[in-house]
Amino acid sequence: MKDSFGSVFNLTLLFAFILVVSGFVLFGVNYYKAFQVKNNLLTLIEKYEGNVNNDKFKEKVESLVNRVGYHPGQSAIASLQNKSENYWTCIDEEGWCYSYINKSRWKDGQETRYYDVVTFVSTDIPLVNRIMGAFKFFQVTGRTKPIIIRK
């Protein structure tokens, strides 16, 4: 009888270890997806000079999201939109948000603009979303190089 209790305890520890290691691996894969989408979005925004309403820009972003397999939950986006800082514009279907900051005006009417982009690490475990969904640890942020807006 003593051996059966010992083996149950050992099996429980083994399964817990497997769950923890699998969780880290899955989190790492999802973090990599969010990081890759963020970097490509910054590159595309710089390429299209901040014109996020361009049809070609939207097509490239949609194909990027589908190619990478990036589909975060809506709870992360909702937590960003519910904060007091409501300057984020979120693309709910694709799971990313952006904002821009005007930094300076030049004599000839040009201004420098920086775009901030936020992507989210997908955690579809309900308990984890409730406890740790608001942490910035589950968000990947980045900023573009200065973009000169011509008028």
Cβ neighbours of 109 (radius 10 Å): 9
Give the single-character DSSP code of 150: P
The first and second tokens of residue 143, run together, are: 């900023």
- Distance separating the N- and C-terminal Cα atoms of the chain: 82
- CB environment 10-22: b (16+ within 10 A), e (fewer): eeeeeeeeeeeee
Per-residue pLDDT of the chain (151 residues; tens, 9 = 90+): 566 667 888 899 999 899 888 888 888 998 999 999 999 999 999 999 889 999 999 999 999 999 999 988 776 667 666 664 668 888 878 889 999 888 766 566 678 889 999 998 877 666 665 666 555 568 899 999 988 876 6
